[in-house]
């Protein structure tokens, strides 16, 4: 029987500079896509995200391979400050990184806040490493890489 439950479509991040965010999510983490589009002033996003109608909105949809199309959206807001609570951090994205040590070196080179890595053991018994960083807009990103059976 086919799964009849909910399906996760995407996470959307409000960002102050879409090019800066693409340099992380596309160029370092490896998400695909990144075409930037202007949103219409009638976009439902204004209501959903409680945006000032005078703010401008540009968007970019990123995919995590051919089976996870448009799973991450970046929405650049100009004309309204973006605030992200930092303590406690209310939301985290968890991403399986490819070549985690190299990814983290690039993240550190950007001067971003990082959280020390630690060993990871999944409920299934797989092992690896997990670590995290805070992107320029204050979003928590947890990265992991499984290396053991």
Q: What is the pLDDT of residues 111-138, one digit of tens each?
A: 999 999 999 999 999 999 999 999 999 9
Residue with tokens 């029987």: 1
What is the pLDDT at residue 118? 97
CA distance 138 to 116: 17
- Domain match, 144 and 112 both: yes
> What's the pLDDT score for residue 76?
97
Angle (CA) 143 27 136, round 5°:
65
Question: Among residues 83, 109, 128, which one ends one of the domains?
Answer: 83
* Per-residue pLDDT tens over the stretch 64-92: 999 999 999 999 999 999 988 888 999 99
Q: Quick check: is 5 in a domain?
A: no
Containing domain of residue 19, as a range? 10-83
State the pTM of this model: 0.92
Judge if 46 and 32 occupy the same domain. Answer: yes
With contact defined as beta carbons under 8 Å apart, do 108 and 143 qualify? no
Contacts of the segment 26-29: beta carbons below 8 A, 24+ positions apart: 26/62, 28/103, 28/106, 28/107, 28/110, 29/95, 29/97, 29/103, 29/141, 29/143
In a shared domain, residues 53 and 98? no
Whether residue 1 has pLDDT greater than 80: no
- Number of domains composing the chain: 2
On whether residue 4 sits in a domain, the answer given is no
End-to-end CA distance of the chain: 30
Considering 43, 61, 83, which residue would you say is the last residue of a domain? 83
Q: Which residues, at least 6 apart from 116, have a Cβ–Cβ distance to it below 8 Å?
A: 131
Q: Give phi and psi for 23, each to the nearest 5.
A: -65, -25
Mean pLDDT (whole number) for 31-50: 94
Q: Which pLDDT tens digit goes with each residue over 4-28?
A: 889 889 999 999 999 999 999 999 9
Tokens found for residue 147: 């290396």
């Amino acid at each position: 029987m086919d799964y009849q439950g909910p399906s996760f479509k995407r996470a959307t991040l409000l960002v102050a500079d879409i090019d800066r965010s693409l340099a992380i999510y596309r160029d370092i983490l490896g998400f695909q896509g990144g075409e930037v589009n202007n949103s219409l002033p009638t976009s439902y996003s204004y209501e959903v995200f409680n945006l000032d109608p005078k703010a401008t909105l540009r968007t970019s949809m990123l995919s995590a391979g051919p089976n996870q199309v448009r799973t991450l959206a970046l929405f650049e807001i100009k004309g309204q400050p973006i605030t992200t609570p930092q303590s406690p951090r209310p939301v985290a994205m968890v991403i399986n990184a490819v070549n985690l040590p190299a990814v983290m070196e690039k993240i550190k080179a950007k001067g971003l806040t990082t959280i020390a890595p630690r060993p990871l053991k999944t409920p299934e018994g797989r092992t690896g490493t997990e670590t995290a960083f805070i992107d320029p807009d204050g979003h928590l990103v947890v990265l992991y890489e499984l290396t053991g059976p």
